[in-house]
Amino acid sequence: MKIDIPDEVKNIVYTTPLDSEKMKYYTEAFAWLALQYCFDEYKNLQLSDAPDLQDINNMLGIEVTEVAIPSTKIVDGNWLHYRKTGEEKYKIKAERFGGEFDHISCSYPPTTSKDELECIEETLKKKIKKILSYRNKGFHTIGLIFVLNEMPLPDTAFRWGEVVKKVQSQSSEKFDMLFFLYSNALSYCKCDTYKVEYITLGGQVRDELSRYSRYIAENLK
């Protein structure tokens, strides 16, 4: 498991936050790099659009989507604006949703595993509607990566496979494989068995992938 990171990226120190558009690119790039780090069979994937990751033959397509509790997403957005502007109004708005922050750190409103699993369920229900359009483009195998920026609660990490199995059992269209990427692991399942496997990402690995993802997002035109 290895990613070749360009020398010019290794020593970059970023001191400002990404804007919302570049943050989307960062999330997609991080998922792309994490897949390549964990699986040799995804080395030929390229960053693209609809779906976000595609192989060179357009046979495999993988959609990337962020899993964010609504209140957490609101706090995150206000923290971004606060770090850019320093305006107190963003702190006040975040506090209404249970968040607190300064320029360096942010605390989020309390979240339960039920909140996280329901968010995964609702996100999958929306994304599953795109599968037919991807099939019509010629993609034979279609996957989905859930990206959670924070560490999930233990029950979420263990039970997310049950949730996606339930949703997919109610749909005529199904993803062929699903991934759940978070701060220290990538878990995944193939949708013939829904057996979940886990690959641990060490802190140094995550930092390197994150730095490279930031570099990619900053330089996308």
Instruction: Calculate Rg over the CA atoms of the chain.
Output: 18
Is 126 in the same domain as 193? yes
In sequence order, what are the beta bridge partners of 141? Answer: 60
Per-residue model confidence (pLDDT) at position 142 = 97
Both 59 and 161 in a single domain? yes
Residue 38 lies in a domain: yes
Q: Do 86 and 45 fall into the same domain?
A: no
| 91 in the same domain as 132 | no
Mean pLDDT of the chain: 92
The pair of three-digit structure tokens given for residue 170, joined into one six-digit string: 């109610």
Verify that 30 and 89 share a domain, yes or no.
Answer: no
**pLDDT above 90 for 104:** no
Specify whether 98 is located in the same domain as 203: no
Neighbours of 74 (CB within 10 A): 19
> In this model, does residue 67 exceed pLDDT 80?
yes
Beta carbons of 160 and 187 less than 8 angstroms apart: yes
Say whether both 54 and 84 belong to one domain.
no
Whether 200 and 94 map to the same domain: the answer is no
Of the pLDDT bands very low, low, confident and very high (cuts 50, 70, 90), residue 6 is confident
Is 74 found in the same domain as 172? Answer: no
Global pTM?
0.89
pLDDT band at 12 (very low <50, low <70, confident <90, very high): confident
Largest CA distance in the chain: 51
